[in-house]
Structure 1
Amino acid sequence: MSKPKENIFDFKLFKRLFEYIKPYKGVFFGLILLVVLLAAFSAATPYITKYAIDDSIAVKAEKGFLFYIMIMLAILMLQTVFQLLFIYYASWLGQNLVMDVRVKLFDHLLRFKMKYYDNSSVGVLITRAVTDMERIADIFGQGLFMIFRDLLTMSVVFGVMLFLNLKLSGIVFVMLPLLLYATRIFQKYMKKAFEEVRNEVSNLNSFVQERLTGMKILQLFTREDIEYKNFKAINERHKKGWVKTVWYNSIFFPLADLVSSICIGLVAWYGGLNVALEGSSVSQGDLIAFVMFIPMLFRPLRQIADKFNTLQMGMVAATRVFKVIDTTSQIDDTGTHVADTYKGYITFDNVHFSYVEDEDVLKGVSFEVKAGETVAIVGATGAGKSTIINLLNRFYEIKEGVISVDNINIKDVTLTSLRTQIAVVLQDVFLFADTILNNITLNAPEITEARVQQAAKDIGIHDFIMTLPNGYHYNVKERGVMLSSGQRQLISFLRAYVTNPSILVLDEATSSVDSYSEQLIQNATDKITKGRTSIVIAHRLATVKKADKIIVMDAGKIVEQGSHQELLKKKNGYYKNLYEVQFLQEEVA
């Protein structure tokens, strides 16, 4: 079975890109006009040169020669100005278009489900948002308009040559199909080579991003040499992709120069013989004009092939970017109810969920949390505790069942208002390379510095922040590396509290902090959970014992529910065994 024919130029893709040009259509059509003028001026110089030679030099007449020189000088000056405007506005259009596409892409990425990021490489997405975008800009700045200009220049030159001399034109046009055929073959193979290059660039970005992020692990386990070899292998594949493009270039461009030189030689030979003959249809001006025209006909074809490389890279990049934009992985935000505040009554009714199809993580989970109640969820790793938090915030869609807050299905609530009313403190704290203040407010304009400071005083961590250089304006650097894990946790805790949420979620928030930070967080927890619905994925005994209710999970199911004392009374109970094995040891320690 034969493969479907592969298009050298994807008109459907360009049509989609053109949608982003519409806001700048004035500049776009202005560039088209400049292309037409540049093509006309390019052909004008050899044409005027012909008449300057035939009317003045060939007959040794000075009259009119200066006039021709002045015309050529004026054309040269206009051509220079138009060329400057063309190059500037072609690049300007490309950068503005890319800015719009990049904004749309990033906006799209912000709304993807967490499942999309679970299955996607961060390095690849960075490539799409940064490197691929620059290639798209080159479609207009260095590709499409340049090709259009060269094609139009060739067409004008083609017409002028036919008009001047059919015999000399015949020699040129006999050679032209050979170069056209070679150009088409070159373009076909270059497209495949650039697709391979883009794939390997994505792999490189992904590999480097992950290794730099996990550098501590690599060094702790002395894997430097292994990762060095892995990087060499990926880099070797990347190099081979580029070498293919170099190889194709090294074949095509010398071939193009050879065909052009042979054509000039044939024209000079045939034209020169005819000029020497009396009454010949070839004049000295014709011969000189054709020697000037031939590079103008063949060089654009050579340049088209070169610019087509740029165009192909841009098209490949655009295909990859639009593939991400076309991905439908958003949570359906079709709810109409806007939650200004919650009482905090939460219910899970027969909830089933799986991250991977047919591998349920939650298996018919049902429970309720009364308004103002603090509920602790305990269980072994992988029991489904954190999944409950993810589903409450609608980071993932459930397979079956209903999750409600204040007796309203969370699918009927707008995502923004739902998540605004729920504050989460995660075990793995992420801080941006910014000030403590901005990491707390996340640049929300309604949260003032005074409000942040008052909240910090309320939960007892203001003094800790003021011990840092510049206090609330201390830059914590990338991922908060300038702070200890306990300090990062405190910042995360304040970030949740300052929003004054209706529901507070603590996902093992004290599992990796020092005793001093734990005491600060515990005091803060007591304050902010008072009168507020709270769900605590428990790690420390103090939190578990103070909870109004404890939900015990195992293998995606709730196996026990009750208070600390109630659960301890159950003979051979799951919680009782967990308490004796883990929590009792902690209490003794």
Structure 2
Amino acid sequence: MSYFKDILKYEKKYRKFTVLNILFNILYAIFNVLSVLAFIPVLRILFSTEKKVISKPIYQGINGLGSYLENSFNYFISQKIINDGEVNVLLFICLLSLSLFFFKNLFRYLASYVITFLRTGIVKDLRDKLYEKIVALPIAYFSEKRKGDIIARMTSDVKEVETSILTSIEVLVREPLTVLISISIMLYISVELTLFVFILLPVSGFIISSISKKLKANSVKAQKETGNFLSFIEETLTGLRIIKGFNAESVIAKKFNNSTQNFRKLMTSVFHRQTLASPMSEFLGSATIITILWYGGTDVLKETSSLDSSKFLGYILLFYTVLNPIKLITTTYYNIQKGEASAERIMQILNTENTIKDKPNALVKEDFKDQIEFKDISFKYKDEYVLKNFSLTIKKGETVALVGQSGSGKSTLANLITRFYDVNKGAIFIDGIDIKDITKKSLRDLMGIVSQDSILFNDTVANNINLGNQNATDTAILEASKIANANEFIQDLPEKFHTNIGDSGGTLSGGQKQRLSIARAVLKNPPIMILDEATSALDTESEQLVQIALEKMMQNRTSLVIAHRLSTIQKANKIVVMKKGKIAEQGKHEELLAKKGEYFKLVSMQSLS
């Protein structure tokens, strides 16, 4: 149960609730046992086997404490019978039992009350840690994982841990205490009978554990399948237009149905094994009680036992109080086995090493003074190198454009300079400092990014623009929107800057979304700007508006422009033509056209199109 232990590490923060829970559970266990023992005098009065203790017992040390307490109670009852009569004593014992049951349940409630703070606290911390880890992990991690699987780990797996493991914590504290106290008193009442019980219980335990072997394995598969169908849902919502446009509803539905059918089979098996735990343990417990009834009852009837009939029935009642905790512990074992699968999936993320991290002595770089240099860098996502011995220098204030066919490595450079990925060979320098020696935060503070896909959030216009500058004033947000040519359409929105733009900015057009992305980069006001095919997804009119906005934004800044449409980069200080991860040629627009090389071919192809 290594993952169960990993989850319990989060308990330290809530230790006071654990201590209170243990205290209340100890009191619960004591009153639970006492509420059963109180019936022995009742049985003795009813069966007229009450021992009359006339002389007051004398305490003779710790070894005789059990006999002293029993005789003291019998003496007290004997005196009450003499003074008040048997009926009144019976009423007194019934009221005493009622009080014991009241305190037993009071402490049970208080134990459950305080453990709730522990449960909800651990769940919150787990979700927070998962979110922090997901945000911190490199982008490469998510290219190998399905979004639905990540979502499943944060939702259903955390919920499973709460219901299967955290609810089990109290049982693991309370029930063993009840068992320990009960068995101690059972040993005092009859060592022989209790030893007989110890022979029977391991047999029951072996039968129960043999049933649960496949429970964890099936739970792992079930949680993995949850991730699969959550991925189907996420992909369906994202690609709904394409699904409808190609009349592919039945194809996608079939895939989803196959996933849910697999999940159903796995969960059916899990639930069957889980639900078997309680009836199986109850049957085995009942069989044990009946065996004890036969074994001990025979001795009592033959009068070869030191127990009288009332004490023997009290022993059976006491053993019955042990049975329920043992049954709960068994069920809890099943639950933990089921929850272990989810805990494993959660800890897989939390224990994943972040390959892109700051060095211990990383430098905080606050400004950009001279140049960016890509020096003999090579990089591969998987097996084949996308960039090979690539070198390029960008001076401060320059606009350098990267052009070339898809797959030539243009966007990869944007991913590398921001340290979304790290180079395999070579190094990238800013002002002569390797970016691996600079903190990721300060490195990214120097840069603004406008990508092909306008990534916006389900929030207001203002909150989308000030994402990189939370302290920005309303005036600064307005100025940024004007530079980005976005203010005009913002003023037409129902609540202007306070209008919620919907999921991924769904209420806006492509050009409007892109201009908001530019306003966000403008407001951040970084010295280095990275434009990754910022206009390739736009229509001609939107492109012209966005292009004007980009030109305003790039003034007095160092810009790396990755372009698909060549019309957008004619004014660049340097155009770098890339082919298969290498520089094919570089120069200004007119120089490259005059060479009649790769750039000329690209311009000619776009002109023809």
Q: TM-score, normalised by structure 2?
A: 0.88
Q: Which runs of structure 2 are paired with 1:12-161 in the superposition (5 Å)?
A: 12-55=2-45, 58=48, 61-138=86-163, 141-161=166-186
The answer (yes or no) to whether the contact 1:139–1:310 under 8 Å persists in 2 is yes
- In 2: Cα distance, 1:531 partner to 1:173 partner: 84
| C-alpha spacing 1:147/1:182, structure 2 compared with 1 (3 Å) | farther
The answer (yes or no) to whether the contact 1:150–1:300 under 8 Å persists in 2 is yes
Matching residue within 341, 344, 348 for 2:374: 348
Matching residue within 529, 541, 560 for 2:585: 560
RMSD value, Cα: 2.4
The answer (yes or no) to whether the contact 1:102–1:133 under 8 Å persists in 2 is yes
Residue 575 of structure 2 corresponds to residue 550 of structure 1: yes
Match in the other structure for 1:501: 526
Farther off after superposition, 133-142 or 26-35? 133-142
Match in the other structure for 1:585: 608
- In 2: Cα distance, 1:412 partner to 1:257 partner: 64
Opposite residue 374 of structure 2, the aligned amino acid is: F
- In 2: Cα distance, 1:90 partner to 1:209 partner: 35
Residue 341 of structure 2 corresponds to residue 316 of structure 1: yes
The answer (yes or no) to whether the contact 2:165–2:335 under 8 Å persists in 1 is no
- In 1: Cα distance, 2:542 partner to 2:381 partner: 34
Secondary structure (helix, strand or coil) at the match of 1:546 reads coil
The answer (yes or no) to whether the contact 1:346–1:368 under 8 Å persists in 2 is yes
The answer (yes or no) to whether the contact 2:44–2:310 under 8 Å persists in 1 is yes
Q: TM-score, normalised by structure 1?
A: 0.91
Secondary structure (helix, strand or coil) at the match of 1:569 reads helix
Match in the other structure for 2:73: none
The answer (yes or no) to whether the contact 1:194–1:241 under 8 Å persists in 2 is yes
Deviations 1:123-181 (A, max 9, x none): 12122222222233346641122033222222322232232245654665554333222
Opposite residue 46 of structure 1, the aligned amino acid is: V
The answer (yes or no) to whether the contact 2:365–2:443 under 8 Å persists in 1 is yes
Measure how far apart 1:87 and its partner are: 1.4
Matching residue within 507, 524, 534 for 2:549: 524
- In 1: Cα distance, 2:277 partner to 2:142 partner: 43
- In 2: Cα distance, 1:61 partner to 1:83 partner: 33
The answer (yes or no) to whether the contact 1:461–1:520 under 8 Å persists in 2 is no
Match in the other structure for 1:4: none
Match in the other structure for 2:77: none
The answer (yes or no) to whether the contact 2:4–2:336 under 8 Å persists in 1 is no
- In 2: Cα distance, 1:19 partner to 1:167 partner: 42
- In 1: Cα distance, 2:390 partner to 2:194 partner: 83
Secondary structure (helix, strand or coil) at the match of 2:353 reads coil
- In 2: Cα distance, 1:289 partner to 1:482 partner: 73
Matching residue within 482, 486, 490 for 2:511: 486
Residue 566 of structure 2 corresponds to residue 576 of structure 1: no
Match in the other structure for 1:336: 362
Measure how far apart 1:425 and its partner are: 0.4
Measure how far apart 1:564 and its partner are: 0.7
The answer (yes or no) to whether the contact 2:22–2:111 under 8 Å persists in 1 is no
Measure how far apart 1:280 and its partner are: 6.6
- In 1: Cα distance, 2:254 partner to 2:164 partner: 36
Match in the other structure for 1:476: 501
- In 2: Cα distance, 1:499 partner to 1:546 partner: 24
- In 1: Cα distance, 2:320 partner to 2:213 partner: 24
Residue 242 of structure 2 corresponds to residue 178 of structure 1: no
Opposite residue 160 of structure 1, the aligned amino acid is: I
Secondary structure (helix, strand or coil) at the match of 1:553 reads strand
Aligned length: 573
Farther off after superposition, 510-519 or 163-172? 163-172
Secondary structure (helix, strand or coil) at the match of 1:188 reads coil
Opposite residue 595 of structure 2, the aligned amino acid is: K
Match in the other structure for 2:479: 454
Secondary structure (helix, strand or coil) at the match of 1:62 reads helix
| C-alpha spacing 1:22/1:280, structure 2 compared with 1 (3 Å) | closer
Measure how far apart 1:462 and its partner are: 0.8
Q: Which runs of structure 2 are paired with 1:192-203 in the superposition (5 Å)?
A: 192-203=217-228
Deviations 1:297-338 (A, max 9, x none): 222222222222322233222222222111112413126332
The answer (yes or no) to whether the contact 2:465–2:520 under 8 Å persists in 1 is yes
Match in the other structure for 1:466: 491
Unaligned runs of 5+ in 1: 1-9
- In 2: Cα distance, 1:250 partner to 1:139 partner: 13
Deviations 1:352-376 (A, max 9, x none): 111113x100111112222211121
The answer (yes or no) to whether the contact 1:372–1:533 under 8 Å persists in 2 is yes
Measure how far apart 1:449 and its partner are: 2.5
Secondary structure (helix, strand or coil) at the match of 1:327 reads coil
Match in the other structure for 1:7: none
The answer (yes or no) to whether the contact 1:433–1:480 under 8 Å persists in 2 is yes
Q: Which runs of structure 2 are paired with 1:196-235 in the superposition (5 Å)?
A: 196-235=221-260
Secondary structure (helix, strand or coil) at the match of 1:456 reads helix
| C-alpha spacing 1:581/1:220, structure 2 compared with 1 (3 Å) | same
- In 1: Cα distance, 2:304 partner to 2:419 partner: 89
The answer (yes or no) to whether the contact 1:552–1:558 under 8 Å persists in 2 is yes
Secondary structure (helix, strand or coil) at the match of 1:85 reads helix
| C-alpha spacing 1:63/1:461, structure 2 compared with 1 (3 Å) | closer
| C-alpha spacing 1:313/1:255, structure 2 compared with 1 (3 Å) | closer
Opposite residue 598 of structure 2, the aligned amino acid is: Y
Secondary structure (helix, strand or coil) at the match of 1:430 reads coil
Match in the other structure for 1:383: 408
- In 1: Cα distance, 2:419 partner to 2:297 partner: 82
- In 1: Cα distance, 2:504 partner to 2:210 partner: 49
Residue 539 of structure 2 corresponds to residue 514 of structure 1: yes
Opposite residue 338 of structure 1, the aligned amino acid is: V
The answer (yes or no) to whether the contact 2:515–2:549 under 8 Å persists in 1 is no
| C-alpha spacing 1:120/1:434, structure 2 compared with 1 (3 Å) | same
- In 1: Cα distance, 2:430 partner to 2:202 partner: 73
Deviations 1:216-274 (A, max 9, x none): 22222222212222122211221111111233245444333333333444555666676
| C-alpha spacing 1:210/1:96, structure 2 compared with 1 (3 Å) | same
- In 1: Cα distance, 2:122 partner to 2:468 partner: 27
Measure how far apart 1:276 and its partner are: 6.3
- In 2: Cα distance, 1:451 partner to 1:246 partner: 58
- In 2: Cα distance, 1:578 partner to 1:453 partner: 39
Opposite residue 599 of structure 2, the aligned amino acid is: Y
The answer (yes or no) to whether the contact 1:489–1:509 under 8 Å persists in 2 is yes
| C-alpha spacing 1:243/1:15, structure 2 compared with 1 (3 Å) | closer
Opposite residue 579 of structure 1, the aligned amino acid is: V
Secondary structure (helix, strand or coil) at the match of 1:445 reads coil
Measure how far apart 1:510 and its partner are: 0.9
- In 2: Cα distance, 1:306 partner to 1:279 partner: 38
Unaligned runs of 5+ in 2: 50-84
The answer (yes or no) to whether the contact 2:216–2:340 under 8 Å persists in 1 is no
Match in the other structure for 2:269: 244
Secondary structure (helix, strand or coil) at the match of 1:120 reads coil
Farther off after superposition, 382-391 or 467-476? 467-476
- In 2: Cα distance, 1:365 partner to 1:297 partner: 73
